[in-house]
Chain A
C-alpha cells in the first residue's frame, strides 16, 4: 500500500532539503563519458508502437524489433556486466522510424546507434569480411572521391559484370544493383569554376534588388551538399544554389566531409566522429557569423541535427544542430514559398507527374509531407505521394548481399504504388531511396529542389 491513505506524520519536509551544512553530495553513479540513456529506458512503457513502425521486423523473422534493440537491451546490460550486445543489432537498417513512433519520447535510434557502435568496436571481428565490407560501404565518400577523379573509368569498372561478381563473392556486395554514376564534373568543381562565394554574393545582391529588398539584407546560408550531390547528382546542388540566390541568399560551400549517416548505420562511430569533427568545426564558425546550415539530403540534415548531439560531445555541436535546416524547409519558414509556388508554372522537362516517396529520415524532421503539400498548387507539375512505406534500401542496408532480398521485400509496397501512380518519373530527397526507386521501377528520379528551380528560377 502506498502512503496515499495515511500520510506519515513526521517533521521531515521533503520540499526543503534539511541536510544541514555538513552534507556532502555523493555521486551515486560513477563519472562516465557515455550518454545517460537511463531516463529514456525508464520512459518506455512497452506499448510496442515502435515495433509496428519497423520495416525490418515486418519481413525479417530473425529481427526482434526496436523495442528489444533499444530499451530492453539497455536494461539487460545494466543488470549483467557480461551481457553482450545481441548481433541482431546489425540487422537494424537505421531508418529511425521508431523515434517518430514513441509516445514517450524514448530516444530509440540513439540507443540503437550506441549499442551498434559498442557491438562493432568490441564484439565484431575486425578481419571478418563483414567488417571490411561494412567499412568500405560506410566510407562511401572515400570511394567516391577517387572515382570522381576518373568518372568515366569508374562508371565502367563499377558496373562491369565480372568485377561485380567478384565483389559479391568476396565482399558480399550484391551484384543485383547498378552503382550510381559519377558526374563528369563534381558540384564543388562547378562551384569553383563559377566563381564560388564571390559570384554567389553578386547573384544574391542582384536578386535582392530585383525583389526590392535592402541590398545589405542579412541573408546567407552555408550549404552542406553531402557526398551524393557533390559526386553523383551535382544538378541537385546547383538547383539549391540557384533557388537560394533567387530569394536573395548568398551561399557558401564550406569544407565538409561525410555527414556520417552510413557510418552510424554500420556502427563505425570512430569514423563518423572524425567526419563530424570537421563538419561541426566548419559549420559552427559560420553559424557564429550568422549563417544557417542548409542540407539538400534529409539524411545529412538528420545527422547534423539529431545524431551528432545524441552521439558526440564536440565543441559547438548543439549550436550547429539548432541552426541546421533542410533546404526546402528553411525557405518555407523564411519566405513566402507557398505563395511563390502558387503563382508559378513549370514547363520543359520537369513539367511532369512525379511519384513522390518520403524518405524515412525526413519523418523525424516533420518533412515527409512537405513536397506533396508545397507542389499541390503548382501549375504544370503534379506530385503524388506513393505511400508511407520504407523504400527498403536504407543507405547501405540494401547493398549487402544477405540483405538484398529483404530490402526488395520491404520496397515492394512502394514499387507497387509507384506503378499505380500517374507519373513515370520519381521524386525524393534521399539519394539512396532514389537508387531503390530507380532499381525497382526503372523511373528517373528527381529532387524537389530541381522542380523548385524549374518553377521559380528564370
Chain B
C-alpha cells in the first residue's frame, strides 16, 4: 500500500502551494509534501510579476504588456498572459491581505536596502510606504537590528530621486530585549501588547514603541518600520501605532527571516487547508518507481522509505537555492526524478567573470513543453504524468527580471489545474 491522492505536489514554496491550491479548487484530492518548512520564510513577501526585461530594460510599467516579447523558452511564454492573470486572481482570492490587484501597473516599493523595487502585489502593511506616494516619510530603525539602518536607507532612497523628503532615525526598542532578539520576539511582544519596562514603569509595548518615536517625528505624514510589527495581528498593531503617532504607519519588507514571508506562508497554508488538501512537511522525496509514468514516490524518514502514490505529480522543488536543481563538477541535475537540465558541457561556461554578469546558470532548470511537462535531452516528455512549476523551471533569471513570485504563481496555477483536470 501507499499513502494515496489524485494529485501529489512536491515542494512547499510559492509554486507548490499555488499548484496544490489550484488543483484542490478544481476538485482534486491533493496532497502536498515538502522537505522542510516553506521557503517563503526567506522571501520578502512581495509578489513580483516582471520588473525588468531579460535585457535589463526597466523598471517596467506594465509587466503583462512585456510578456509576449519574452524569449520563447521563458515560462511565461509557455503558459501565456491570460494564465498569468488568472493565477494572480487565484492568489488575490486566497490572500485577501495583499494589495495591488486594482491595476496592471507595477507598484514601486522601497526595500530595506534603500532601493526601489517594481512589484505587482504587496502586503497591506507596506501600502502606506509606496514610493509613488508624495508624502514626506520618517523611517525608524531599531538600534539592535543591524539589517535596517534607517538613516542609511533614507539616504539611499533620497538618491534614487523619490518624490518626497525622507529621513531616518534610530531608536532602542522599549523593554530589556537582548541585543540579538529574534524578529519573532518583537512580533510576539507587539502581538500580545505585553507590558515592557520603561524607566521603571510598565507600559504596553505598542504604546511604549510609539512614545519612543513621537519626539523624533517632525512634519512627516507617514512612518516606516522594519517588518517586525506582529505575526498574528499586524493590522491592529499598525493602527495602534498610527493612532498614537497621528500618521500612517507602514513596514519595509526585510531579508530572511522575514515576517511578511511568514505571514504569506500562513495565509496560503490555511487557504490550502480550507480547500481540503493534505499537507506533510519534514522529510524529503528521494526516489520513485515508474518508467514512462511515475507510479509512486518515496519519502525518506530516518532510513524508512514511505511510499506515496498519485495519478498526477507536480515537481515544485525550487531552483539552486531550494535544492530542486543541484550541480557538481560533472554537471547540473534534478535530484528527485533526474529530469534533464540543459546546460553547457564545460562548467566554465556556466558563469561570467563579473559578479553581476549575465550568468547562464541563473537560467538553468528543467525545460518543458507547453503543458509544463519536463522534456528529456531529445525533447520528449520525461513522464506523462509529471509537470513542473516554479524555480525548478529553466529559461528565466528571476533575480535579474524580478519575476520569481509571478512565475511560481503562474506555472503553479497552470500545472496544478491541468494535473487536476487530467486526474479525472
- The reply to whether A4 and B348 contact each other, CB–CB distance below 8 Å, is yes
CA distance A306 to B304 in the complex (A): 11
Point out the residues of chain B lying under 8 angstroms from A101, CB to CB: 36-37, 41
Contacting residue for A333 out of B33, B307, B323, CB 8 A: B307
A334-B306 Cα distance, complex, nearest whole Å = 10
**B182:A48 contact, CB within 8 angstroms:** yes
Q: Is the CB of B3 within 8 A of A332?
A: yes
Is A261 interfacial (CB-CB < 8 Å)?
Answer: no
> B262: which A residues are within 8 A, CB to CB?
52
Instruction: Let me know if A226 is at the binding interface, CB within 8 A.
Output: no
In the assembled complex, A59 has its CB within 8 A of some CB on chain B? yes
| B residues near A368, Cβ cutoff 8 Å | 281
Interchain CB contact under 8 A, B301 and A100: no
Given contacts A47-B256, A412-B192, contact A321 B303 (CB under 8 A): yes
Check B185 for interface membership: any CB of A closer than 8 A: yes
Q: How far is the CA of A309 from the CA of B301 in the complex (A)?
A: 12
Known A-B contacts A4-B351, A100-B36, A100-B37; the reply to A61 vs B176 at CB < 8 A is yes
Binds A, one of B149-157, B217-225, B245-253, B272-280: B272-280
Specify which chain B residues have a CB less than 8 angstroms from the CB of A255 in the assembled complex: none
Query: Contact partner of A61 among B181, B299, B302, CB < 8 A?
Result: B181
A57, closest chain B residue (CB): B182
For the complex, what is the distance from the CA of A385 to the CA of B37, rounded to whole Å?
18
**A305 interfacial contact with B, CB 8 Å:** yes
Query: Which of B2, B188, B256 is A59 in contact with, Cβ under 8 Å?
Result: B188
The reply to whether the CB of A373 lies closer than 8 angstroms to some CB of chain B is: yes
Distance of A412 Cα from B194 Cα, bound (Å): 12
Binds B, one of A28-36, A176-184, A274-282, A359-367: A359-367
Point out the residues of chain B lying under 8 angstroms from A211, CB to CB: none
> Could you say which residues of chain B place their CB within 8 Å of the CB of A363?
281-282
Contacts of A103 in B (CB 8 A): 36-37, 39, 42, 322-323
Chain A residue numbers with a CB within 8 Å of B188 are 58-59
Q: Chain B residues near A334 (CB, 8 Å)?
A: 1
Residues of A332-388 whose CB lies within 8 A of B: 332-336, 338, 363-366, 368-369, 373, 376, 385
**Is the CB of B342 closer than 8 A to any CB of chain A?**
no
- Among residues of A, the one whose C-beta sits closest to the C-beta of B177 is A61
C-alpha gap A7/B208 in the complex (Å): 59
Q: Which residues of the partner chain A approach B283 to less than 8 Å between Cβ atoms? A: 364-366
Q: Report if A65-B182 is in contact (Cβ < 8 Å); known contacts: A4-B348, A4-B353, A366-B299.
A: yes
A52 with B184: CB separation less than 8 A? yes
From A49, A102, A332, B256 is in contact (CB under 8 Å) with A49
Alpha-carbon separation in the docked complex, A54 to B36 (Å): 15
Contact A49 B307 (CB under 8 A): no
Interface size grouping (class) on chain B: 35 or more
Q: Are B280 and A52 in contact (CB under 8 A)?
A: no
What's the nearest-Cβ distance from chain A to residue B316, in Å? 15
Interface members, chain A 6-62 (any B CB < 8 Å) = 7, 15, 47-49, 51-54, 57-59, 61-62
A72 to B302, CA, bound (A): 25
Is A333 a contact of B1 with CB atoms below 8 Å?
yes
CB distance from A416 to the nearest CB of B (A): 10
B302 touches A321 (CB 8 A): yes
Roughly how many angstroms separate A365 CA and B353 CA in the complex, as a whole number?
44
- Contacts of A61 on B, CB cut-off 8 Å? 176-178, 181, 185
Instruction: Kindly state whether residue A218 has any CB partner on chain B within 8 Å.
Output: no
A306 to B329, CA, bound (A): 32
Whether A318 lies near B42 (C-beta < 8 A) is no
Partner of B41 from the list A49, A335, A366, A376 (CB cut-off 8 Å) is A49
A53 to B185, CA, bound (A): 11
Known: A4-B351, A333-B2. A322 touches B281 (CB 8 A): no
Given contacts A365-B301, A412-B192, contact A52 B257 (CB under 8 A): yes
User: Is B180 at the interface (CB under 8 A from chain A)?
Assistant: yes
Near A by CB (< 8 A), chain B positions 105-129 give: none
Q: A5-B353, A61-B177, A365-B301 are in contact. Are A52 and B348 (CB under 8 A)?
A: no
B302 A305 Cβ-Cβ under 8 A:
yes
Contacting residues of chain B (293-312) with chain A, CB-CB under 8 angstroms: 299, 301-304, 306-307
Residues in B neighbouring A62, C-beta threshold 8 A? 178
Q: How far is the CA of A280 from the CA of B385 in the complex (A)?
A: 42
B240 sits at the interface (CB 8 A):
no
**Given A61-B176, A62-B178, A335-B1: A7 and B280 within 8 A (CB)?**
no
- Contact A57:B184 (CB < 8 A) given known A49-B256, A335-B1: yes
- Chain A residue at minimal CB-CB distance from B280: A366
A440 within 8 A of B: no
Verify A58–B37 contact, CB threshold 8 A.
no
Closest partner residue, chain B, to A336 (CB atom): B1
On chain A, the residues within 8 Å of B183 by CB distance are 52
Interface mask (B233-271 → A, CB under 8 Å = 1, otherwise 0): 000000000000000000000001100001000000000
What is the bound-complex CA distance between A365 and B300, given in angstroms?
A: 10
Chain B 24-49 interface residues, beta-carbon cutoff 8 Å to A? 33, 36-37, 39, 41-42
**Which chain A residues lie closer than 8 Å to B301 at the CB level?**
305, 365-366
Cβ contact of B257, chosen from A51, A59, A305, A323, cutoff 8 A: A51
Whole-angstrom CA separation of A291 from B348 in the bound complex: 52
CB distance from B420 to the nearest CB of A (A): 18
Taken together as a complex, chains A and B put the C-alpha atoms of A393 and B278 apart, in Å, by 28
Residues of B within 8 A of A105 (CB): 36
Are A100 and B256 neighbours in the complex by a CB distance under 8 Å?
Answer: no
User: Which one, A49, A58, A306, contacts B302 given CB within 8 A?
Assistant: A306
Q: Which of A380-439 contact B (CB under 8 A)?
A: 385, 412
What separation, in Å, do the CA atoms of A305 and B2 have in the docked complex?
20
A316 at the interface (CB under 8 A from B): no
Q: Tell me, rounded to whole Å, the shortest Cβ–Cβ distance linking B27 to chain A.
A: 15
- Closest Cβ–Cβ distance, residue B14 to chain A (whole Å): 14
Decide yes or no whether A231 CB sits under 8 A from chain B. Answer: no
| A187 contacts chain B at the CB level, 8 A cutoff | no
A contact residues around B36 at 8 Å (CB): 100-103, 105
Q: Which of A110-129 contact B (CB under 8 A)?
A: none
Most buried by A among B2, B36, B42, B276: B36
Chain A positions near chain B (C-beta within 8 angstroms): 4-5, 7, 15, 47-49, 51-54, 57-59, 61-62, 64-65, 68, 100-103, 105, 305-306, 309, 318, 321-325, 332-336, 338, 363-366, 368-369, 373, 376, 385, 412
A-B pairs with beta carbons under 8 Å apart, 24 shown: A4-B348, A4-B351, A48-B257, A49-B257, A61-B178, A62-B178, A64-B180, A101-B36, A101-B41, A102-B36, A103-B36, A309-B303, A321-B303, A322-B302, A325-B304, A333-B306, A336-B1, A338-B4, A366-B280, A366-B299, A366-B301, A368-B281, A369-B279, A412-B192
New contact pairs (6) apart from A47-B256, A49-B257, CB-CB < 8 Å: A49-B41, A54-B182, A65-B182, A306-B302, A325-B304, A365-B283
Interface residues of B (CB under 8 A from A): 1-4, 33, 36-37, 39, 41-42, 176-178, 180-185, 188, 192, 256-257, 262, 273, 276, 278-283, 299, 301-304, 306-307, 322-323, 329, 348, 351, 353
Per CB-CB distance, the 5 closest pairs between chain A and chain B, nearest first, are A322-B303, A366-B282, A52-B257, A366-B280, A305-B302
